[in-house]
Chain A
Amino acid sequence: MRILVLSKSVPDLVEELALDEDNGELLHDDMTYVPSEWDDHALEEALLLKEEVGAEVTVLAVDTGDVDNMLFTALAKGADHAVKLTGDFDLATSNRKRAQAIANYLRDNTFDLVLSGVQAIDDIDGQIPAIVAGLLEWPHASVVTEVSIQGEQIHFRQEYGGGLQAEFSAQAPLVLGIQAARKPPRYASIAKVRQMMKSSTVDEIDASADTVPELEIRRFFKPVAAGHAEMIEGDPEEVADRIITILKERKLVRG
């Protein structure tokens, strides 16, 4: 079983987002980028499968700048190979274009299972796994948890509203958007990442992509503050009285 894990970097939300408010553009160079959390879960699920059935795990990133550290971290966690798709890409490159490059790579290289984070904080649209599957005409599922490999069959679960769960099975090749791994993503120690930088290489593959139909982002806005929270101060009695008054004012309690 050969598994490809897709990874991308996203702005670190601990730091403030850098936005040019005049023209509504994100200032990518002024922000710190970190691996997308959902992709970390996809990698963890792949590594768990590797431990269970001996799959071979390759991690892939589109070269949007500084992705090497992310790839070496994945190698330090236990991925077998790392691939970087180089070409005309940067941090603003659309998911559509990234997906095209990944699909092209998958046409030339044989994989049974593609795992990706279901979405990323900078798109929240979950497009990449879906578009990749669409371009390749492979089966695809999103918001997946608990992947397992049983012989030729790949089993996985999806959660629905109301706590309902469904279990699926599919034949390879298959693309899955991972919501959460079975275990929290493992830690990669700094020393091990450094050791990987010395002992392993990232395969660079030229993936100059075709022209693809894309949406154009017109501008970004910062959220507009609406309303204020009222801090209720005083001793417990006063606070309780105030809460009751508010609830009565809003007609949330009778009496």
Chain B
Amino acid sequence: MALRYVLMAATVVLFVVAGAIFVGRFWNIYQVMRKSRATIRTDQIGKRLISTIEQVFAHKRMLKVRYSGVLHLFIFSGFVVLLIDVVGSIGQVFSPGFSIGPVLGMIVDIWVGLVLIGVAMAVYQRAVIKPERYHGSDETDGYIILSIITCIVVGIVVHESFYPYAAGPIFGVKAVALSPMEFLAYGLSRIWVSLGWTGATAASIGYAVGYTMDILMIWVFLAYLPYSKHLHVFLAIPNIFVRKMGPHGELVTAPVPEEGIAIRSFRDLSWKDVLDLYTCTECGRCQAVCPAHAAGQPLSPKMVILELREALKKELSGEPPIPLAGGVVSQEELWACTTCGACMEACPVFIEHVPKIVGMRAALLEDGEIDKTAQKVLVGWDRQGNSFGQPLKKRPGWTKGLEISIKDARREPVDWLWFVGDFASYDPRIQDLTRLVARLLQQANVDFGILYDGESNSGNDALRIGEFGLFEALAQKNLEKLQEAEYNMIFTTDPHSLNALKNEYGKYGFHRPVKHYTEAFVDLIDQRKFDLKPLGIRATYHDPCYLGRWNRIFDAPRELMKRVGVDLVEMPRHGENSFCCGAGGGRIWMEEVGIKERPADQRIREALTLEGVTHFVMACPKDVAMFTAAVASTGNEGRLKVVDMAELLAEAAGLGVPDTLVAAR
């Protein structure tokens, strides 16, 4: 009977100690969150709940990596069952005779089995498969937790298996025989019988050992968790609930902090950013999809989060603060980001890497630190409104050479206002395409116009370089002109401009419809504005980050290809999992330091693995610049033709495609 009191005392004392450690740790985290920036994450409760259920109970994102998803589901489900066991076991000790019954007992045993399978799979993954994404993660912590979990679930079965023989000596109640339904405990008890370990002493020791492995280890687990990456056990669900809901492509949400978007210290993070740091499970899925990481650059989104978390822990332990931008996270890491958003798309707990990186870039910029080529581009945007260092007056220069002149939307009303963008306006390699788009619109009798030299760069990339002030200045210039013009819809070929117009200008009260040319052309085809002949080619399509991931426009380009008779073969990474060309976030203007293989080159290689695919189709002017270069530099011009959507449509519609373009023949 004395043993019962020892177990009771140990349960209570350990619980109080572990609980205190646990609460103290959470209190610290709460204090940091309280002092950080505000952000509204409690709107759209219904949607948030549904998304949380999908992600938590159906493991939607987790299952994208099948093996890990399944093993995690096994272990995760064990945590739910653990509750039954905690009630049952503590009940046994504190209220002699208490039992959860054979049915619940069987459920517990089934899940003990599933958890053990999950743990075995996890160990196999860590020790044998060794995914690259774990590089940089705390693997010891992973093994410690797996050991603790194994210990707990084995403990469950052990003390249950001894219970019928220990019930008398420890609790003074009549022994109840184990039901074969509790198959694990039952099976184990048969072994004890054959070993002759069913006497009072042996059974009492066995029960105490099992109970310690189970309940007492759970309390240890509770105390250990807040110091490990497994804090996600508690934080993942709330972090998913307070995820960013949209508009998806809006990087900086209103109200913009008066002091700007720069992140210098932990106080400049939002409370969600702080929560993100502690929620990270170090799974490395972000690292596995990061184009900068794949290119061999020093950036891993996972390491950015871990470096920040480590620095915050040190700061909380009293060490002097280190500047976050350029200190905790190096300049090289910050400037390597293409803001493609693949990391955020892959994160099973909805950590937001890109806004943190851009905020830290803003801090570097304020100190005058930026790649010198990119600096010239910023100055060019400020002075001439374009990244090409060309006069503002030359912005509509591409219209020369068109048979029919284009309406000036500043002077007369138009149905569609075409926001052309820098690359489509100025890049000599792309101007031919821009003219082709104009001819397609004229062919379809669309009433359209442009803003001529009234258009400035949209500011999408300036913002992502971290230059919020410049973004705002560019946005104001464009909004002024857009306000003067009369139109029903904005049309653009450029996903970066589309993103700014659709998502970033909203905070200044701009909410006009914006369509990508792929969407608009599908509409025109369906209105029978073109007489199309099927092209009969086999092609693959590259989803631009700012069209697909950030604006969820996946179907229109595919529909367009279908309508012009293209047999689409998807690359392994497509749709929301598309792989960045490497140009976004201002990267297109920055030095390629430390790049082993350019993302665009890797992408071309990926396309070449597809059987019978002769064409690589794009829907973004920057992609045209990136991939025509990549296909040439990898020496694959003969094997794969890189073409723009407009070329496909023009060819199918019987418009002559200029020889300067690689046409779909």
A and B from one assembly? Answer: yes
Among B135-143, B370-378, B480-488, the one that faces the other chain is B370-378
Among B68-76, B384-392, B590-598, the one that faces the other chain is B384-392
Q: Which residue of A lies closest to B362 (CB)?
A: A189
| With contact pairs A186-B369, A187-B370 given, residues A15 and B393 touching in the complex (Cβ less than 8 Å) | yes
| With contact pairs A12-B383, A14-B390, A32-B383 given, residues A187 and B469 touching in the complex (Cβ less than 8 Å) | no
In contact, A34 and B473 (Cβ under 8 angstroms)? no
In contact, A190 and B472 (Cβ under 8 angstroms)? yes
Asked if A184 is at the interface of the complex by the 8 Å CB criterion, the answer is yes
| With contact pairs A14-B383, A14-B384 given, residues A187 and B365 touching in the complex (Cβ less than 8 Å) | yes
- CA of A234 to CA of B150, assembled, Å: 73
- CA of A192 to CA of B364, assembled, Å: 12
B contacts with A, residue count (CB < 8 A):
26
- CA of A25 to CA of B382, assembled, Å: 28
For residue B209, which residues in chain A have a CB less than 8 angstroms away from its CB? none
- CA of A124 to CA of B469, assembled, Å: 34
For residue A32, which residues in chain B have a CB less than 8 angstroms away from its CB? 383
Q: Which residue of B lies closest to A194 (CB)?
A: B469
| With contact pairs A15-B393, A184-B372 given, residues A189 and B467 touching in the complex (Cβ less than 8 Å) | yes
Residue in B365, B368, B370, B468 whose Cβ sees the most chain A Cβ within 10 Å? B368
Chain B proximity of A133: nearest CB distance (Å)? 29
Chain A proximity of B89: nearest CB distance (Å)? 59
- CA of A12 to CA of B384, assembled, Å: 10
Interface string of B3-38 (1 = CB under 8 A from A): 000000000000000000000000000000000000
Chain A proximity of B264: nearest CB distance (Å)? 13
In contact, A16 and B365 (Cβ under 8 angstroms)? no
| With contact pairs A14-B383, A32-B383, A186-B369 given, residues A191 and B391 touching in the complex (Cβ less than 8 Å) | no
Contact check: which of A77, A78, A189 meets B469 at CB < 8 Å?
A189
In contact, A191 and B468 (Cβ under 8 angstroms)? yes
Q: Which residue of B lies closest to A192 (CB)?
A: B366
- CA of A194 to CA of B258, assembled, Å: 12
For residue B366, which residues in chain A have a CB less than 8 angstroms away from its CB? 189, 191-192
For residue B472, which residues in chain A have a CB less than 8 angstroms away from its CB? 190
Q: Which residue of B lies closest to A78 (CB)?
A: B368
Interface on chain A toward B: helix, strand, loop, or mixed SS?
A: loop
Asked if A27 is at the interface of the complex by the 8 Å CB criterion, the answer is no
Asked if B260 is at the interface of the complex by the 8 Å CB criterion, the answer is yes
Chain A proximity of B268: nearest CB distance (Å)? 14
- CA of A189 to CA of B361, assembled, Å: 12
In contact, A189 and B470 (Cβ under 8 angstroms)? yes
In contact, A191 and B260 (Cβ under 8 angstroms)? yes
Asked if A243 is at the interface of the complex by the 8 Å CB criterion, the answer is no
For residue A34, which residues in chain B have a CB less than 8 angstroms away from its CB? 383
- CA of A186 to CA of B468, assembled, Å: 17
- Give A23-58 interface residues, CB cut-off 8 Å to B: 32, 34
Q: Which residue of A lies closest to B466 (CB)?
A: A189
Q: Which residue of B lies closest to A16 (CB)?
A: B391
In contact, B368 and A190 (Cβ under 8 angstroms)? no
Chain B proximity of A13: nearest CB distance (Å)? 10
Chain A proximity of B260: nearest CB distance (Å)? 5
- CA of A187 to CA of B369, assembled, Å: 7
Contact check: which of A15, A184, A190 meets B382 at CB < 8 Å?
A190
For residue A187, which residues in chain B have a CB less than 8 angstroms away from its CB? 365, 368-370, 375, 378
In contact, A190 and B383 (Cβ under 8 angstroms)? no
For residue A16, which residues in chain B have a CB less than 8 angstroms away from its CB? 391, 393
Asked if A170 is at the interface of the complex by the 8 Å CB criterion, the answer is no
Asked if A212 is at the interface of the complex by the 8 Å CB criterion, the answer is no
- Give A42-81 interface residues, CB cut-off 8 Å to B: 77-78
Chain A proximity of B259: nearest CB distance (Å)? 9
In contact, A186 and B368 (Cβ under 8 angstroms)? yes
Interface string of A121-159 (1 = CB under 8 A from B): 000000000000000000000000000000000000000
- CA of A15 to CA of B383, assembled, Å: 10
- Give B453-470 interface residues, CB cut-off 8 Å to A: 467-470
Q: Could you jot down 24 A-B contacts, CB within 8 Å?
A: A14-B383, A14-B384, A14-B389, A15-B391, A15-B392, A15-B393, A16-B393, A34-B383, A77-B368, A78-B368, A184-B372, A184-B375, A187-B365, A187-B369, A187-B370, A189-B365, A189-B467, A189-B470, A190-B469, A190-B472, A190-B473, A191-B260, A191-B469, A194-B469
| Extra 12 A-B pairs, beta carbons < 8 Å, given A186-B369, A190-B467, A193-B469 | A14-B389, A15-B392, A78-B368, A186-B367, A189-B365, A189-B467, A189-B469, A190-B382, A190-B470, A190-B473, A191-B366, A191-B469
Binding site for A on B (CB under 8 A): 260, 362, 365-370, 372, 375, 378, 380, 382-384, 389-393, 467-470, 472-473
Binding site for B on A (CB under 8 A): 12, 14-16, 32, 34, 77-78, 184, 186-194
A-B pairs, top 4 by smallest CB distance, nearest first, are: A186-B368, A190-B469, A191-B469, A190-B470
